Structure 1
Amino acid sequence: MPTATFYLISPNSAQATPEGFAQYVLYLTRHFAAQGARIYLQCQDKQHAEQLAERFWQIEPEQFLAHNLVGEGPKSGTAIEIGYVGVSPSWNRQLAINLADNQTTFARTFTEVVDFVPCAENAKQLARERYKLYRQAGYQLQTVEIQYP
């Protein structure tokens, strides 16, 4: 059964800031990549995807994660692909990390999805809508409070 995990962002946590959230996304990506997962990072738009890809290039060399934007990179792709609303992953991916705040259109595509519940009330409402979509798609749902420095 496919699984969707929603990570709850505490208002007083480092992840409640844009920088802290970006660092946590890199941490999660590294964690899942170390387990051998083929990951798709769904960004809000092309600019957001390019900014995230640039963050990956800024990682310390010993922690570097091979990645590519959708439509770029080696023919067989890398284990980490970064896309955005309106484009599809180039290769089969097991795991999607959703960084977009709109309703997902890929709920039936992945065996595992990671999503987030931000602090702002309007963003929480959008996360609730995504939660409903995953449930309707047959995902087993779970929530996790972020325990990361």
Structure 2
Amino acid sequence: MPQADFYILPSADEDSRYQFLGKLATRAISAGHWLYIHTDSEHLAERISERLWQSSPESFLANSLPTEKLHAPILIGWQPDHIPNTPDMLVNLSTIFPSQTVEFSRIAEIVIQSDEILALTRGRFKEYQGAGIQPRMHDMRKRSS
């Protein structure tokens, strides 16, 4: 049974979502996971890829898009056929619940305080429950000061 984690961030700023993604990806890769990040568009996938390559001044997070032949621990896609054949960890940054979600061992949703994102997240939370996955909430608002 997959483990689904919802990370509730204190900000409505989209940039905070990508900053947290960098931290989450760093921890996941350090733990030996291969990440698949699902987005809504090629444009957004390219933006995320660029952000990860420039993760911090002293490091980067190697990643690839399905259109590239680079073998990296992070794959960023936007279509159902981009999902890897051997799924490990999904970071869902799309507005949908991908049908292959239950094939992943770990799932992460990064939630910002935007009305649109919060509404979509409530719907996906119910979809996870409907698929037999009990999501865990991590309220990152309590950790910021």
Residue of structure 1 equivalent to 2:46: 50
Q: Shift in Å at residue 136 of structure 1? A: 1.6
1:71–1:90 CA contact under 8 A, matched in 2: no
Q: Shift in Å at residue 123 of structure 1? A: 2.1
Amino acid at match of 2:34: R
- TM-score, length of structure 2 as denominator length: 0.86
Task: Choose from 117, 131, 138 the match for 1:123.
Answer: 117
How far apart, CA to CA, are the structure 2 residues paired with 1:110 and 1:31?
17
1:39–1:81 CA contact under 8 A, matched in 2: yes
Q: Shift in Å at residue 84 of structure 1? A: 1.1
Secondary structure at the residue paired with 2:135?
Answer: strand
Residue of structure 1 equivalent to 2:127: 133
How far apart, CA to CA, are the structure 2 residues paired with 1:22 and 1:42?
13
Residue of structure 2 equivalent to 1:9: 9
Residue 40 in structure 1 maps to residue 3 in structure 2: no
Where structure 1 has 5 or more consecutive residues not aligned to the other structure, the ranges are none
How far apart, CA to CA, are the structure 2 residues paired with 1:121 and 1:104?
21
2:4–2:106 CA contact under 8 A, matched in 1: yes
How far apart, CA to CA, are the structure 2 residues paired with 1:32 and 1:124?
24
The size of the alignment, in residue pairs, is 143
How far apart, CA to CA, are the structure 1 residues paired with 2:94 and 2:67?
19
Please list, as runs of the form range in 1=range in 2, the aligned pairs for 1:96-107 lying within 5 A after superposition. Answer: 96-107=90-101
How far apart, CA to CA, are the structure 1 residues paired with 2:52 and 2:114?
26
How far apart, CA to CA, are the structure 2 residues paired with 1:84 and 1:7?
21
1:103–1:126 CA contact under 8 A, matched in 2: no
Alignment RMSD: 2.0
2:3–2:133 CA contact under 8 A, matched in 1: yes
How far apart, CA to CA, are the structure 2 residues paired with 1:127 and 1:38?
24
Larger CA deviation: 135-144 vs 98-107: 98-107
Please list, as runs of the form range in 1=range in 2, the aligned pairs for 1:9-88 lying within 5 A after superposition. Answer: 9-10=9-10, 13=11, 16-60=12-56, 62-74=58-70, 77-88=71-82
Residue 113 in structure 1 maps to residue 102 in structure 2: no
- TM-score, length of structure 1 as denominator length: 0.84
Q: Shift in Å at residue 125 of structure 1? A: 1.7
1:7–1:144 CA contact under 8 A, matched in 2: yes
1:4–1:139 CA contact under 8 A, matched in 2: yes
